[in-house]
Structure 1
Amino acid sequence: MKMRAVSAQVLLLLLLLELVRARDCTGSSRCTGSSRRYTPDWPSLDSRPLPAWFDEAKFGVFIHWGVFSVPAWGSEWFWWHWEAEKLPAYQNFMKENYPPDFSYADFGPQFTAHFFHPDSWADLFEASGAKYVVLTTKHHEGFTNWPSPVSWNWNSKDVGPHRDLVGELGTAIRKRNIRYGLYHSLLEWFHPLYLRDKKNDFKTQYFVRAKIMPELYDLVNRYKPDLIWSDGEWEGPDTYWNSTDFLSWLYNDSPVKDVVVVNDRWGKNCSCHHGGYYNCQDKFKPETLPDHKWEMCTSIDKMSWGYRRDMMITDVASEYSIISELVQTVSLGGNYLLNIGPTKDGLIVPIFQERLLAVGKWLSINGEAIYASKPWRVQFEKNETSVWYTSKGSTVYAIFLHWPESGILSLESPIATSTTQITMLGIQNDLKWSTNPGEGLLVYLPHLPPAAVPTEFAWTLRLTGVK
């Protein structure tokens, strides 16, 4: 009888502890052990809430780097244009610059990364204001920037740099409290197993089982990425790639299950429909506010994602166009992922550095209107000044891309109240304003010498007490 009484007390105590735990875990992300499990199907996977850090980050840096950085001509699709499509320009380039028996594999040893200093890269990305960085771990050429156990003699440890590029950059990035994302291509243009599956109309999965799934699991377990940027999905359906099986493991049991974010490129039927956030297509620009979190990826070199020796200055996006795109993207609820292509030696050329630092300088003044902001009830006013809105709680930010010649900015959407106050980020004093029927809210911009204006373009007004 005494033992039964003790057992009953123990059971009662355990029940009370479980009730307390359940109460404490309500609405919390701390108690992930009791969180729901996701089944390997899109209705379940798509119901997973997007980790908050991604929407708050707003701005990231994309890095396309691989063996394609050795010829550094045309684009990162060099091998495909040369060997598969046999484009005359690429064939002539090879004839004029390399011996007749030169193969694409011969570029591998020349991918040296000799001047790759991860901390210098990380310092630049931190100065750019980026809150996450996405590195190419493997492009469609199949070369891996880490010692992949299933990419023998075609990885950065066995060939070329003889270094773990993914690991080295990750260590440097995380020392600066920046999130680390990994780009990974599903397809490999010339892999024999992929070509075999393709010939079988993707009814077999030799390539997926021997190459892709082992690589994805290895990347996650080894580097614990905050983001997986999938690509190269467009030829096969998600059922061929086993995408839902992988994502259910990623969300349920992986070491990053509570923080990891993924995009929508998991099969030819997935883009803009399934996944964590949507890319939809390269350089995607919606015209209205989407109902799902999205990201615009674009490149400083408008003609290529990888570094090109034949890049012209006219191919380089201007500071104004980059910052304008950033503002418009964030106003419409998106993130802005800006790409650079390092050289084969691991250098980021000065023009790319300059553009990244220009973004960082702008964000150092205007970041309050960007980071962790939300779309406002009105996203933009297309007039002579081109105004874009963001918000934080009851505070509204109006970012105008052109300074009106009159010095008076007309805002149609905000409704002033008796408590309205308006300031410009980077300037301490409040701005004067008035309202006139049919003209909306008129803001009198400060009369300042050029050196005292906070930025060269894209100025931000902070509006409080408006509806």
Structure 2
Amino acid sequence: MAKTVAEIRAINEAGSYHADWASLSQMPVPKWFRQAKFGIFTHWGLYTVPEYSNEWYSRNMYIKGMPAYEHHIKTYGPQRDFGYKDLIPLFTAPKFDPNEWVALFKKAGAQYYFPVAEHHDGFQMYQSDLSHYNAAEMGPHRDIIGELRQAALDAGLHFCTSNHRAEHWWFMSHGKEFDSDIKEPLHKGDFYWPAMPEPNNQDLYSKPYPTTEYLDDWLMRVCELIDHYQPEMLYFDWWIQHEAFKPYLKEMTAYYYNRATEWGKNVGICYKYDALAWDDGIPDVERGGFEQQKPFYWQTDTAIANNSWCYTDDLDYKDTNEILISLLDAVAKNGNLLLNVGPRADGSIAETDRRILGEIGDWLSVNGEGIYGSTCWKLFGEGPTNIKEGMFQDLSGLHYGSQDIRYTANHGNVYAYILNPEGKTAVTLTAFRAFDDADQPAFHAPIKDVVQLGSAPVDWHIDAAGLQVTINATDANRPLGLKIIVE
């Protein structure tokens, strides 16, 4: 294990992967990731203690005019007397049971698990030699990431983790604008350090630049995670696309890939906003996706609620069907779904989250054969409704109907998922319409049978409009799966 930045660079110089994009592009997307399709994300940390607003509480409680600013004063007192750091003793997590969490996620059908190791607030959820502000030394006095890793591996899930520290360069800075507990001088090792002025966070060249001291610390923290927990996948939130991070991203990626080679594992990095070179990791689209199939593999991450990634007392939960449609749309377009759940501050998982996860698992136990291990078909789907390309598009409130179909291929079969059966007893798949010299269908080969997943073979025939299939009604208009068995 590397103990210094110099040692990280020396390992990379001697390893198979070097800190340049051409070398790093040789790591393929892990096969297990392409087959898994569905994972669980958890945002849990100090920001959950107030159970208010969202996971940006540590920033917003220091901005006058923000609801979190007023809430903090009303609940805890002025920020000069009770700052964000004073939430640490309240974060004791008496109900945290890693095995219970992971059992719930596995029952939901997840194949991999991504707990957040460090969020923008800078509190590490793992044992660290680089800062005393971590969950093993403070708060719950437990190595949260270590316990979750062991629980995931024991349950047969792939263990992954994420780091969101890049934004900590500026995340706490507004506390310097009034009389709060965030005061200069701040030094490396201080919880709030460095709290620099907040830039235009989409400006790739914004100043003040992160310093070498800060970037070295960022690199060491990520490499410590890599060495101690051996994740099969890393995830990074935005702002690492800033120009200052580029050489450090290359060093970190090379170190990760070299260490994985020693472990005998294929690993990958999920990233946003073109932070990595195009073929050096896995593009991630937050709360969104693509309009068409893509030749590259990708992931969308979204949350079980529309208004926060952590648990709050006013979550706007998504409907289970909406989440299942997001999964089907991603898989049909050559991607995965990473679904976030926010545990409560005490370590328990709320009943609504449990219900939704249970419903997802029930659906996947019936319909998963066209999901897990599948590939995209020649068409991603058909119908009038389709998400617009880009981030945050799953907040647009699309209404899918029985004409909206998503296709996958697996086991030599084609799978068609009707996104919202609308209580109907028959559907038409236009991609399979009868061959016409003037209008060739997407599929033109003998079909042996059509089976409704979880049911039985159903009546079908092909005419000029398409494959006409009789279906059995399902509860709650869940997406309905059909297996088209080819001769």
TM-score for the superposition, normalised by structure 1: 0.83
1:31-66 per-residue CA deviation (whole Å, 9 max, x = no partner) reads xxxxx9333122332342111000100001110001
Matches within 5 A, 1:189-200: 189-190=171-172, 191-193=192-194, 195=196
Change (3 A) 1:226 1:194: farther
Determine the C-alpha separation between the residues in 2 that align with 1:107 and 1:406. 52
Determine the C-alpha separation between the residues in 1 that align with 2:269 and 2:361. 25
SS in 1 for 2:327: helix
SS in 1 for 2:348: coil
- Aligned to 2:227, which of 216, 221, 226? 221
Q: Which amino acid aligns with 1:434?
A: H
**Structure 2 residue 269 is the aligned partner of structure 1 residue 262:** yes
- Aligned to 2:413, which of 391, 395, 398? 395
SS in 1 for 2:409: strand
Determine the C-alpha separation between the residues in 2 that align with 1:272 and 1:397. 34
State the 1:407 CA deviation: 2.2
Q: Which amino acid aligns with 2:296?
A: H
**Structure 2 residue 448 is the aligned partner of structure 1 residue 441:** no
State the 1:98 CA deviation: 1.3
Query: For residue 257 of structure 2, what is the aligned residue in structure 1?
Result: 251
Query: For residue 338 of structure 2, what is the aligned residue in structure 1?
Result: 337
Query: For residue 360 of structure 1, what is the aligned residue in structure 2?
Result: 361
**Structure 2 residue 447 is the aligned partner of structure 1 residue 432:** no
Matches within 5 A, 1:138-217: 138-152=118-132, 154-187=133-166, 188=168, 189-190=171-172, 191-193=192-194, 195=196, 201-202=208-209, 204-209=211-216, 211-217=217-223
Determine the C-alpha separation between the residues in 2 that align with 1:81 and 1:157. 26
Q: Any runs of at least 4 consecutive aligned residues in structure 1 with deviations exceeding 6 A, and if so which?
A: 196-200
**Structure 2 residue 286 is the aligned partner of structure 1 residue 282:** yes
Q: CA RMSD for the aligned pairs?
A: 2.4
Task: Tell me if the contact between 1:301 and 1:316 (Cα under 8 Å) persists in the aligned partners.
Answer: yes
State the 1:206 CA deviation: 0.5
User: Could you list the runs of 5+ residues in structure 1 that have no partner in the other structure?
Assistant: 1-35
SS in 1 for 2:149: helix
**Structure 2 residue 429 is the aligned partner of structure 1 residue 411:** yes
- Aligned to 1:67, which of 25, 39, 46? 46
State the 1:378 CA deviation: 0.8
- Aligned to 2:305, which of 282, 297, 301? 301
Determine the C-alpha separation between the residues in 2 that align with 1:140 and 1:406. 47
SS in 2 for 1:183: strand
State the 1:288 CA deviation: 0.8
**Structure 2 residue 10 is the aligned partner of structure 1 residue 38:** no
Determine the C-alpha separation between the residues in 1 that align with 2:241 and 2:64. 20
**Structure 2 residue 481 is the aligned partner of structure 1 residue 460:** yes
Give the number of the structure whose alpha-carbon radius of gyration is greater.
1
SS in 2 for 1:195: coil
Q: Which amino acid aligns with 2:82?
A: F
Determine the C-alpha separation between the residues in 1 that align with 2:90 and 2:72. 15
Determine the C-alpha separation between the residues in 2 that align with 1:420 and 1:205. 64
Query: For residue 346 of structure 1, what is the aligned residue in structure 2?
Result: 347
Query: For residue 382 of structure 2, what is the aligned residue in structure 1?
Result: 381
Change (3 A) 1:139 1:404: closer
Q: Which amino acid aligns with 1:145?
A: M
Determine the C-alpha separation between the residues in 1 that align with 2:222 and 2:423. 55
Q: Which amino acid aligns with 2:471?
A: L
Q: Which amino acid aligns with 2:74?
A: E
Task: Tell me if the contact between 2:114 and 2:162 (Cα under 8 Å) persists in the aligned partners.
Answer: yes
Change (3 A) 1:65 1:274: farther
Q: Which moved more, 1:357-366 or 1:321-330?
A: 321-330
Task: Tell me if the contact between 1:264 and 1:275 (Cα under 8 Å) persists in the aligned partners.
Answer: no
Query: For residue 180 of structure 2, what is the aligned residue in structure 1?
Result: none
State the 1:455 CA deviation: 7.7
Q: Which amino acid aligns with 2:339?
A: L
SS in 2 for 1:242: helix
Task: Tell me if the contact between 2:53 and 2:312 (Cα under 8 Å) persists in the aligned partners.
Answer: yes
State the 1:157 CA deviation: 1.4
Determine the C-alpha separation between the residues in 1 that align with 2:86 and 2:422. 56
SS in 2 for 1:262: strand
**Structure 2 residue 96 is the aligned partner of structure 1 residue 116:** yes
State the 1:394 CA deviation: 3.0
1:214-242 per-residue CA deviation (whole Å, 9 max, x = no partner) reads 21121111111111111243473264560
State the 1:416 CA deviation: 5.6
Determine the C-alpha separation between the residues in 2 that align with 1:251 and 1:423. 43
State the 1:403 CA deviation: 2.5
State the 1:393 CA deviation: 5.1
Q: Which amino acid aligns with 2:102?
A: A
Q: Could you tell me the percent identity over the aligned residues?
A: 27
Task: Tell me if the contact between 1:289 and 1:333 (Cα under 8 Å) persists in the aligned partners.
Answer: yes
Query: For residue 94 of structure 1, what is the aligned residue in structure 2?
Result: 72
Q: Which amino acid aligns with 2:351?
A: P
User: Could you list the runs of 5+ residues in structure 2 that have no partner in the other structure?
Assistant: 1-14, 173-191, 200-205, 385-400, 433-442
Task: Tell me if the contact between 1:110 and 1:344 (Cα under 8 Å) persists in the aligned partners.
Answer: no
1:337-378 per-residue CA deviation (whole Å, 9 max, x = no partner) reads 111111111011000111111110000000001001101001
Determine the C-alpha separation between the residues in 1 that align with 2:286 and 2:16. 32
Task: Tell me if the contact between 1:197 and 1:205 (Cα under 8 Å) persists in the aligned partners.
Answer: no
Task: Tell me if the contact between 1:140 and 1:232 (Cα under 8 Å) persists in the aligned partners.
Answer: no
Task: Tell me if the contact between 1:416 and 1:441 (Cα under 8 Å) persists in the aligned partners.
Answer: no
Q: Which amino acid aligns with 2:341?
A: I
1:65-106 per-residue CA deviation (whole Å, 9 max, x = no partner) reads 0100111211100111121x3334222112211122111100
Determine the C-alpha separation between the residues in 2 that align with 1:115 and 1:241. 41
State the 1:328 CA deviation: 1.0
State the 1:454 CA deviation: 7.9
Determine the C-alpha separation between the residues in 2 that align with 1:402 and 1:343. 32
User: How many aligned residue pairs are there?
Assistant: 415
Change (3 A) 1:90 1:119: same
